[in-house]
């Protein structure tokens, strides 16, 4: 059997987007991922579905696997002919013990590659608004391990040289030893008033920062019960934080948002959440598919072939547009056959999808739902008109019913089906159980009902109770009513039924919430 290969990859400081392009390639192609505690669990979603995931992380009070065992594990997996990605937090060469792992691979004749990552020593302070160098404050820096016991620290660190060797001192993994570190720095010449910052889980949604001086920092850490992992920054650059803490000023900083949209549609909402400083947790509970069965296909062909008989084409979603065009292509039908039909759309995104295909929309509703659309075209539609409605199988009957009342014949065709997604995501379920999800977004009624069903399938017996207390953001009144019918409360509702409006409402809610907390007496 041919030997495999091992990629020793730096996963970056925590934000999954801070992994390198090369690191992501290794992750996507490997057969096995061996990962530790500091690598973002969201990165694991980029591994192949067939990839084996092996956790070898270390907690403050215990080791899941000793370093020697990890070294041998990498060898054993490669000898089985597997391609292995060893995913390590930060950069593997900065206190990552990559040298030990690589050396044993070399001794066993196994090919390996070291893929650098962004070290937490630089990235974490940056996300806390602290540049580790500054032209006027610090032109050099030192990175020091703070994880060892005091006697080991004294053997590995020459305090008399390190203390004043550079402008900025960075200690990794030293939270438990912060008092001893501060004491040694003062003893060897650092002023007790020297600024100090500790940044916990930097670049992630859990990021927390404590600022003090060498004289006060130990007391502050104890009072806050500040736990590892954290980066310690010592030096005048810490004072830059007051002006530069860009990440913490984002509206959704500290908020993990459950995104329930279909996987094909979730990326836009997730990216916008990230732009606002939040962390999206994609948990798609619906899938969008073509209808199946000969009868359904035959009905579609028949109704689309009657193109010249329609005075109206009414689209209520982007999916309706995309699948309508897909079926025309599949049946080899020409869009020009609908030339006499006037096109209307519910919502700007639906209109945008039509315009992008060279189809002009004549009218848009103000509220972006069916009732509003009918109000706007009231004077246009005449008795005897036919209106084609390319929709999903779960579309509401409000519009067809209202059209019939106006003497207009609605011709409904299910161009796509909305089905329950087979979502198995242990991470999202675990976060829900631990109340580590801080907000849930619903963009349709089906996402509400399906989430409850999917959670039940994932082992949560009373899903509504599990979601209670988590702020819920709804895209509009119809979705909100479904939320309430499920026994849950709506905290946020978009003014218009669009993603832009939903995110604006979420940002306002969060900023108001943060402002009220800042006003609370200490």
Count Cβ atoms below 10 Å from residue 21 Cβ, excluding itself. Answer: 7
Mark out the alpha helices in 282-347 (DSSP H runs): 294-304, 318-331
**How many alpha carbons fall within 13 Å on the CB side of residue 392?**
19
What CA–CA distance (Å, rounded) separates 29 from 45? 12
Among residues 23, 17, 15, the alpha carbon closest in space to that of 47 is found at 23
> Which string of b and e fits 58-92 if b means at least 16 CB within 10 Å?
eeeeeeebeeeebbebbbebbeeebbbbbbbbbbb
**How many angstroms separate the CA atoms of 512 and 489, rounded?**
18
Phi-psi region of 55 (alpha: psi -120 to 50; beta: other; left: phi over 0): beta
Q: Are the C-beta atoms of residues 394 and 446 closer than 8 Å to each other? A: yes
Taking the alpha carbons at both ends of the chain, their separation in whole angstroms is 66
Q: Output phi, psi for 355, to 5 deg.
A: -60, -35
Among the listed residues 124, 358, 369, the one whose alpha carbon sits nearest the alpha carbon of residue 230: 124
Rg (CA), the chain: 29
DSSP string over 191-242: -TT-EEEEEESTTSTT-EEEEEETTTHHHHHHHTT--SSEEEEESGGGGGHH
Question: Crossing angle for the helix pair 348-355 and 318-331, nearest 10 degrees?
Answer: 30
Strands 230-234 and 409-420: unpaired
Active site residues: 36, 58, 173
DSSP 403: H
The 8-class DSSP code of residue 51 comes to -
Residue 452 contacts by C-beta under 8 Å, 6 or more apart in sequence?
Answer: 463, 464, 486
Residue 407: strand, helix, or coil: coil
């Amino acid at each position: 059997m041919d030997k495999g290969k091992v990629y020793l990859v730096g996963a970056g400081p925590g934000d999954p987007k801070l992994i390198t392009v090369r690191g992501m390639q290794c992750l996507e192609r490997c057969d096995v991922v061996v990962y530790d505690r500091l690598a973002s669990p969201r990165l694991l979603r980029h591994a192949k579905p067939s990839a084996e995931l092996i956790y070898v992380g270390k907690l403050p009070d215990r080791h899941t696997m000793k370093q020697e065992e990890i070294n041998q594990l990498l060898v054993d997996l490669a000898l089985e002919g597997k391609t292995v990605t060893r995913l390590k937090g930060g950069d593997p060469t900065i206190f990552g013990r990559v040298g030990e792992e690589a050396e044993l691979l070399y001794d066993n004749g196994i090919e390996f590659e070291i893929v650098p990552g962004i070290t937490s020593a630089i990235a974490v302070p940056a996300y806390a608004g602290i540049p580790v160098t500054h032209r006027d404050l610090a032109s050099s820096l030192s990175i020091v391990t703070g994880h060892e016991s005091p006697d080991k620290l004294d053997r590995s660190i020459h305090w008399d040289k390190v203390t004043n060797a550079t402008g900025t001192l960075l200690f990794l993994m030293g939270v438990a030893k912060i008092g001893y570190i501060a004491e040694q720095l003062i003893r060897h010449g650092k002023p007790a008033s020297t600024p100090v910052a500790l940044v916990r889980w930097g670049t992630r949604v859990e990021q927390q920062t404590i600022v003090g001086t060498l004289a006060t920092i130990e007391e502050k850490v104890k009072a806050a019960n500040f736990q590892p992992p954290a980066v310690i920054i010592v030096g005048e650059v810490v004072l830059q934080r007051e002006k530069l803490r860009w990440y913490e000023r984002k509206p959704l900083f500290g908020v993990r948002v459950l995104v329930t949209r279909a996987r094909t549609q979730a990326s836009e909402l997730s990216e916008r959440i990230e732009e606002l400083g939040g962390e999206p947790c994609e948990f798609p509970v619906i899938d969008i598919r073509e209808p199946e069965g000969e009868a359904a296909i035959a009905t579609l062909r028949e109704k689309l072939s009657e193109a010249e008989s329609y005075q109206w084409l009414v689209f209520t979603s982007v999916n309706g547009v995309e699948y309508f065009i897909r079926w025309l292509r599949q049946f080899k039908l020409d869009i020009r056959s609908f030339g006499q039909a006037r096109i209307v759309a519910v919502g700007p995104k639906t209109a945008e999808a039509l315009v992008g295909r060279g189809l002009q929309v004549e009218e848009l509703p103000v509220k972006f739902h069916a009732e509003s659309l009918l109000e706007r075209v009231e004077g246009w539609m005449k008795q005897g008109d036919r209106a084609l409605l390319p929709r999903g199988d779960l579309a509401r009957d409000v519009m067809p019913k209202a059209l019939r009342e106006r003497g207009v014949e609605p011709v409904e065709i299910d161009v796509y089906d909305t089905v329950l997604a087979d979502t198995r995501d242990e991470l999202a379920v675990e976060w829900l159980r631990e109340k580590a999800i801080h907000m849930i977004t619903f963009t349709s009624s089906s996402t509400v009902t399906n989430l409850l069903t999917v959670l039940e399938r994932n082992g949560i017996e009373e899903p509504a109770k599990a979601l209670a207390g988590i702020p819920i953001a709804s895209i509009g009144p119809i979705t909100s009513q479904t939320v309430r019918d499920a026994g849950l409360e709506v905290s946020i509702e978009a003014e218009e039924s669009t993603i832009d409006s939903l995110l604006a409402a979420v940002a306002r809610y969060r900023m108001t919430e943060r402002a009220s907390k800042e006003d609370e007496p200490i």
